[in-house]
Amino acid sequence: MAAPRVLVFDSGVGGLSVAACIHQALPGVELVYLADNAGFPYGGQSEQVVISRCCDLIAECLDQFPCEVVVVACNTASTVVLPHLRAITEVPVVGVVPAVKPAAACSVNRRIGLLATPATVKRPYLDELIAEFAADCEVVRIGHPGLVDWAEQLVQGSEPPQAEIDQAMLPLRTAAVDTVVLGCTHYPLLLPWLRKSLPEVEAWVESGEAIARRVGHLLEHGGRLIEAETPGAGADPAVIQACFTGAAPSDISAFMMEMGIAVAQVAGHWPGVTAAGSA
């Protein structure tokens, strides 16, 4: 039986943090990665643009690479696109939302920092999450536009500017938060620099592992879960195809390899005329 296949979607390289968690938990699953880097950053786009780009691109990708589960590995897109996507495909769709509930469960001093894109921090969906799960906490939100760019530039080997990150994290230091939610899938890539800015933070909460569990559950439910395997013993390479709607970042294969998710083929300017396999 062919390996089950999962499509992981983001506006850029942030969703690779989620893809890596899925591969770690479910090493026998084949991954297809789709990045709408021609539309990046989603944090600066209108809801309507995000909805129509996501729906069109994911539908096209599923045509070319049929998958059993779609993961919208982007908080900014997930806050608006999920019902629209579920209306156009029968493939189960998993979204990612800022991990406010688990953060509230681990904060001891009831002061939580929440890092997300400028769009996500303003969405009513986030107000609802906080009201439901963290009503007794002080939640300090930061929607800094530079963080996603610095994460994207890591692919080219550019070091994020520590002094600017320190400056951006000042409100969280002043509030003495003990827990920080990484409410954008790009941010786990910046964790070493974020930790330096906020060394006193006890817990950094992201959604990758919870997403991987949900994917495993859906595959199991569909009778498609391969037996538990030890990490590294599964699909090799982990990602059979990575598609970028803009130019593919030049060092992407090495970057993915370093993240533990080797990629077989990379396509740039997808789904244009560029042949799969070229970047």
Which positions are annotated as active-site residues?
74, 184
CB of 187 to ligand DGL, least distance (A): 8
CB of 275 to ligand DGL, least distance (A): 27
Rule CB under 6 A: which of 36-95 touch ligand DGL?
Answer: 40-43, 74-76
DSSP, collapsed to helix, strand or coil, labels residue 73 as coil
Q: Spell out where 56-137 has E strands.
A: 69-72, 93-95, 111-115
Helix pair 15-25, 208-221: axis angle to 10 deg: 50
How far is CA 250 from each of CA 10, 19, 119, 228, rounded to the nearest angstrom? 18, 19, 28, 34
Spatial CA neighbour of 99 closest among 213, 20, 207, 209: 207
CB of 117 to ligand DGL, least distance (A): 4
How far is CA 50 from each of CA 76, 92, 119, 132, 216, rounded to the nearest angstrom? 9, 19, 11, 26, 27
Q: Closest CB to ligand DGL among 49 and 228?
A: 49
> Quick one: which segment of 11-19, 57-65, 164-172, 229-237 binds ligand DGL (CB under 6 A)?
11-19
Which two three-digit tokens encode residue 201? 């933070």
- Give the span between the Cα atoms of 16 and 183, in whole angstroms: 15
Rule CB under 6 A: which of 21-40 touch ligand DGL?
Answer: 40
CB of 49 to ligand DGL, least distance (A): 11
Of 5, 23, 186, 214, the residue at the interface with ligand DGL (CB under 6 A) is: 186
> Quick one: which segment of 1-9, 131-139, 179-187, 222-230 binds ligand DGL (CB under 6 A)?
179-187
Spatial CA neighbour of 184 closest among 16, 7, 59: 16
> Quick one: which segment of 10-18, 103-111, 158-166, 262-270 binds ligand DGL (CB under 6 A)?
10-18
CB of 185 to ligand DGL, least distance (A): 4
Of 7, 9, 10, 218, the residue at the interface with ligand DGL (CB under 6 A) is: 10
The answer to whether the beta carbons of residues 9 and 62 sit under 8 Å apart is no
Binding residues for ligand DGL, per CB under 6 A? 10-12, 14, 40-43, 74-76, 117, 120, 148, 184-186
